[in-house]
Amino acid sequence: MSLVSHRFRPFGGSIFAEMTALSNKHGAVNLSQGFPDFDGPAAAKDGAIHAINAGHAQYGRMIGVPPLNQAIAVAWERDGRPAIDPDAHITVTSGCSEGIVAAILGLLNPGDELVVFEPFFDFYVTAAAMAAATPRFVTLHPPRNPAAPDAAFSFDESELRAAITPRTRAIVVNTPHNPTGKVFTRDELTLIATLAQQHNAIVITDEVYEHLTYEPRLPHISIATLPGMWERTITLSSLGKTFSLTGWKVGWAIAPEPLSAAVRAAHQFLTFCAATPLQHGAAAALRNPGSYAADLRTLFAANRDLLTDALRRAGLTVFPSHATYFLMADHSALGFPDDRAFCTHLTANIGVAAIPPSVFYADPTHGRALARFAFCKKRDTIDQAVQRLSNLTRRSAT
C-alpha cells in the first residue's frame, strides 16, 4: 500500500528521471531531460570556488546574499527593464523551481484557482496541489500549418476568458515556453495583462529561458514591463538555463514589496536560503556575462535546425521552436499508438531519448501524438542523434 500522501499520489514519478534512466540503460543519446552536456562559464565556477575558499560556508541572508541581489538587479536593468531595489524586490530561491512553489504557496489559499497554460512545466500543477488550489487549464494549440514562417502554438482568447472565474487568484505565464519553444507575443501578453487587471489576478511569470530566443522578430518580453503590470506580477528566473548550470539551482523572484512578502513567507520555511557559495558564483556570472548567452543562442539555433531537418526526414511533423531548449514534433505518421510507445521505441531501438509530453497536459490524450526533443547539447551530440534518427525512417517506413 502506498504511503505517499493523497496530495502527491496523482502525480507518480518524474518522467524526466524515468526517461533519463531508460536512456542510460540503452546507451541512447539523451535528448529527453533539458540539461546541457557541457560546462558553464569560468566566471561562475571561479566565483563559487573563491567563495568556498574565503569561508562563505554559513547560511546566507534569507532573501539572498547582497552581491547576488545587486547583480540580479543590474542584469534586470541591463535588459532594458525599469530599475528595481535589490533588497526590497528580489528574493533568491533554490532554483526557479523553489520560486514557483514559494510564489504559489505564499499567494494562494485553499480553494483559490490558478490559470495554467498547457502543455505545462509540472511544478505549477504540483505546487497548486500543495496549496490545495485548483488549476484551470488553457490549451496552447499546435499551429494548423506548421510550415508557415510564423507558425507557433497559440491559445484561443475565449478559452482563456472561460478559465478565469471569481475564484482566480493567479495566472501562470511561462515565456519563452517549455515544451513548445513558443515566445508569447506582445499582443498575447497584453490580453493576459488586461484580463489580470480586470479580474484582480496576480501574474506569476516563469522566464527561465529569457535569454534563449532565436528569432529577432520574436524577442522576449517580460509581462511585468507592460502598463499596470509591475504591481501585480511575480517574475521568476534562474541561473541554470542562461549559464548552463542547471545543477546549481540558484533562482530568483522579482516582485513589488507586497508580492515579495508573499514569496518570502513561504521561502523562509521551504529552504530559507540557497547554497551560499553558489550564490556568490552566480553573482560573478551575472556581473561578467561576456558573450556566453550569445554563443549559446548560436549553438542552440543551429542544433534546432539540424534536429528539425532530421526529424522531418524521418517523417515527423516538426513545429517551429523559436526559443528554449526544446522542440515539439508530431509522430503520428509513423504509426505508434501514443507518445509513450513512440518515445520508448525511439530510446530502446533507435538510441535517441525524447520525452512523451502527455504528462504536460491535464487531459493526457492531447499529448499522445507528440514528442519533445531537447537540443541544448554539444554539436557532436546532435550529430550523433541525427545519424541515429536516419534509422527511424527505414525501420518505421517498412
Ligand X SMILES: Cc1ncc(COP(=O)(O)O)c(C=O)c1O
Residues that bind ligand X (CB under 6 A): 34, 95-97, 121, 174, 178, 206, 208, 238, 240, 246, 249, 251
Smallest distance from the beta carbon of 95 to ligand X, in angstroms? 3
Nearest to 242 by CA among 375, 376, 354: 376
Q: CB-wise, 47 or 181, nearer to ligand X?
A: 181
Give whole-number Cα distances, 97 to 90, 172, 274, 383, in Å. Answer: 16, 13, 12, 31
For residues 330 and 316, the answer to whether their CB atoms sit within 8 Å is yes
Smallest distance from the beta carbon of 34 to ligand X, in angstroms? 5
Smallest distance from the beta carbon of 298 to ligand X, in angstroms? 21
Nearest to 263 by CA among 79, 127, 120: 127
Element housing 260 (H / E): helix 257-270
For residues 224 and 235, the answer to whether their CB atoms sit within 8 Å is yes
Q: CB-wise, 34 or 181, nearer to ligand X?
A: 34
Q: CB-wise, 208 or 226, nearer to ligand X?
A: 208
The residues with which 330 forms a beta bridge, in sequence order, are 317, 370
Smallest distance from the beta carbon of 238 to ligand X, in angstroms? 3
Smallest distance from the beta carbon of 53 to ligand X, in angstroms? 25
Q: CB-wise, 126 or 246, nearer to ligand X?
A: 246
Q: CB-wise, 238 or 396, nearer to ligand X?
A: 238
Give whole-number Cα distances, 228 to 66, 256, 382, in Å. Answer: 29, 12, 43
Residue 323 DSSP label: B
Q: CB-wise, 93 or 344, nearer to ligand X?
A: 93
Neighbour tally for 365: CB within 10 Å: 9
Smallest distance from the beta carbon of 325 to ligand X, in angstroms? 7
Q: CB-wise, 99 or 351, nearer to ligand X?
A: 99
Smallest distance from the beta carbon of 191 to ligand X, in angstroms? 21
Neighbour tally for 286: CB within 10 Å: 25
Q: CB-wise, 336 or 360, nearer to ligand X?
A: 360
Q: Is 303 exposed, middle or buried (0-12, 13-18, 19+ CB in 10 A)?
A: buried
Helix axes 95-107, 123-130, angle to 10 degrees: 40
> How far, in Å, CA of 389 to CA of 398, rounded?
15
Q: Which residue is nearest to ligand X (CB)?
A: 95
The residues with which 323 forms a beta bridge, in sequence order, are 213
Cell numbers that stand for 86 in this block? 535589490
Smallest distance from the beta carbon of 250 to ligand X, in angstroms? 7
